[in-house]
Structures are given as structure tokens and as C-alpha cells.
Amino acid sequence: MTDLLLRRVSPSRPAAQDEQDYDVIGPQGFVIGRIFKSIASPPGAPRAWTMASPTHGYKSTREAAMQAFARS
């Protein structure tokens, strides 16, 4: 699928949501973004994804968010 990995964020991290909050790790091993369940998302797309830049979006599943993240 991609060279991206997900790592669940530490609950003690500022702005951590819950057990469905993930850092996206790029091919070089650095955190390049985040995928999380958002209460402000549109109906039917509860997963938000964001990169270090202003690029972001919403998807229905974590897997779909990963694919959208990778395409960006």
C-alpha cells in the first residue's frame, strides 16, 4: 500500500484524542502527520487526517485516511 506507518500517540501528549489517535511515520522514520477521529468531521467521514502543512481531509475509515494521506 504505502511506506507509511501508524503509531498510536501517547495519552499524555498534548492534544491527544484517544486510542484512535495516530502519528503517521514517513519512510525516513519521522512523524509527518496525524490521523484521528474528529468530532468536527462531516457526516459519514469521522477520520481526519492532516500533514505538517495545511493539507488535510476527512475519510470514513482509518485505512481510507491512510490512502488519502499517502496520495498527498
The per-residue pLDDT for range 27-48, each reduced to its tens digit, is: 899 989 889 888 888 999 999 9
Type of residue found at 65:
A
Print the domain residue range for 23: 5-71
Is-contact 47 36, C-beta < 8 A? yes
pTM of the model: 0.67
**Is residue 15 left, alpha or beta, with left meaning phi > 0 and alpha meaning psi from -120 to 50?**
left
Closest CA to 47 of 3, 14, 17: 17
Is-contact 52 69, C-beta < 8 A? no
Which residue(s) pair with 36 in the sheet? 48
Share of the chain above pLDDT 70, in %: 92
Number of domains in the chain: 1
What is the pLDDT at residue 60?
92
Mean pLDDT of the chain: 85
The three grid cell numbers given for residue 20, joined into one nine-digit string: 484512535
